[in-house]
Amino acid sequence: MNFLQQLDNTPEDQKHALVKGWVDSRSLKFYEELRQNRPILSDPVCTYVAKYEDVMEVLRRPDIFTVDLYKSSMGDYMLAQDDTAIHWREKGIMQSMLNWDDLAMVRQATSEHACKLVTGNSGTLDLVDQYSRLVPTLIVQTYFGLNGCSTDDLCRWSYWNQYESFHNQPFDVLSAEERAEIRQNFLEAGKEMKAFLQELLPRRIAEIRGESSADDILARMLRTQYPPSVGFPPERLARNVPGLLIGTVETTAQAVTQVVHYFLGHTGILEEARLLLAENKVQEFDSYVWEALRFDPVTPYQFRISSQDYTLAKGTSRATFLKAGTMVLPLTLSAMFDENYFPNPHVFTPGRSFSDYLHFGYGMHECLGKYVASVLVPEMVRNIILLPNVRSESPIEYGGTPYPKHYHIAWG
């Protein structure tokens, strides 16, 4: 029995848990069956969109498919807003601070942090806790400027903010107890993070007034004078600082862990990647990383909620009417295996256009840190796969969560 036959034979009140389980399992066969037979699938809770062009329609229409579901955790943060003045203004300011010209320096700093962590271990490593989370946390402390706090705290705050925002949504299949636990940990992390910011910002302002030469992102933000007409007062500046942490650590850790796992499970591809590095073909190596991530991305979907009645894929045989308030999951993993846009999708094909991947979303809500990640992730992977005789000692352990919990590797 195929997936859709099984779904059609399932009682109505059990259908959502069944479909969401298939989505979360990242079954490429399930996604392929959807694209071929039911590319827009509705269950009692939400609607799933499987074809590339329909996924893109959802992501490029923030006027119809909004991020209002973010608001319960993000409040008035700019990324929880769609086409508003605050979103455009603050995203633009933050992009200017994350200077593209910094990327070579960020890559070098990443390499230095990575080398120290690897050489500090004796041939074995829990990649998740001892590396994949620590390296981006060190970047948060040094390049972003959120210093004076332990890496453990920063990791924990990132983790629970990510969990609450992206995996404690109405469509997630969780018990009331699980939801309450996630929410409580999120609230506690928020209190701790607020207390840290109340200490951090005055301290960093005093450093700058004392003619500190620091040129991290927070220092740039604090040094810049914003006229009132710009609409970026100190309280809005402070509102954007946590995003530098929350959007960096857990997502980077998951991407790096899953790419390393993919490489170590495909020795031919691993050797090709090493050869590229031996020949100093960095750009070509990076394309191997992004192609590996296509097979096991950080998330298999985005999520939106419709602001008004709308017909998706209008004018096609799959046109589907969606009522206002419909929760919609554009399946970005499925879209990256749509053969009309990714030829030979099941073949590992480095060199695909970086802009075609949906690892960072698309459109107005494309990841703010996309270009920092474009060097951070590959450089972290590079420092692991070049270890002599590096190998997996266990599968990735998720511990019943959406995030890698442990992944043991060894070398030498």
pLDDT tens profile 183-242:
999 999 999 999 999 999 999 999 998 888 899 999 999 999 999 999 999 999 999 999
Reported as a pLDDT band with limits 50, 70 and 90, residue 116 is: very high
What pLDDT is stored for residue 1 in this prediction? 63
Averaged pLDDT for residues 51-77: 97
pTM: predicted TM-score of the whole model, two decimal places: 0.97
Structure tokens belonging to residue 402 = 């959406």
User: Is the distance from CB of 72 to CB of 346 less than 8 angstroms?
Assistant: no
Mean pLDDT of the chain: 96
- Report the C-alpha dihedral over residues 289, 292, 296, 298, rounded to 10 degrees: 10
Indicate the residue type of 183: R
Position 62 scores a pLDDT of: 96
Q: For position 213, what pLDDT does the model report? A: 87
DSSP per residue, 293-312: HHHS-S-S---EEESS-EEE
- Tell me the pLDDT tens digit for each residue of 73-114: 999 999 999 999 999 999 999 999 999 999 999 999 999 999
β-partners of residue 322 are: 310
Tens digits of per-residue pLDDT, 372-387?
Answer: 999 999 999 999 999 9
The stretch 391-402 carries a mean pLDDT of 96
Neighbour-count burial for 28-56, b at 16+ CB within 10 Å, e otherwise = eebbbbbbeebbbbbbebbbbbbbbebbb
Half-sphere exposure of 357 (CA within 13 A, CB side): 24
Angle 297-302-304 (CA atoms, 0-180°, nearest 5)?
A: 175
Structure confidence at residue 185 (pLDDT): 98
Distance CA 117, CA 119 (A): 6
pLDDT at 397 over 80: yes
Which three-class secondary structure state does DSSP give residue 41?
Answer: strand
CB 6 within 8 A of CB 22: no
First CA to last CA distance, the chain: 46
CB 259 within 8 A of CB 377: yes
DSSP category for residue 406: B
pLDDT digits (tens, 9 = 90+) for 309-355: 999 999 999 999 999 999 999 999 999 999 999 999 999 999 999 99
d(CA 334, CA 346): 11
Q: Pairing state of beta strands 304-306 and 310-312?
A: unpaired
Cβ-proximal residues to 211 (8 Å cutoff; 6+ apart), any chain? none
How far is Cα 175 from Cα 264, in angstroms, rounded to an integer? 35
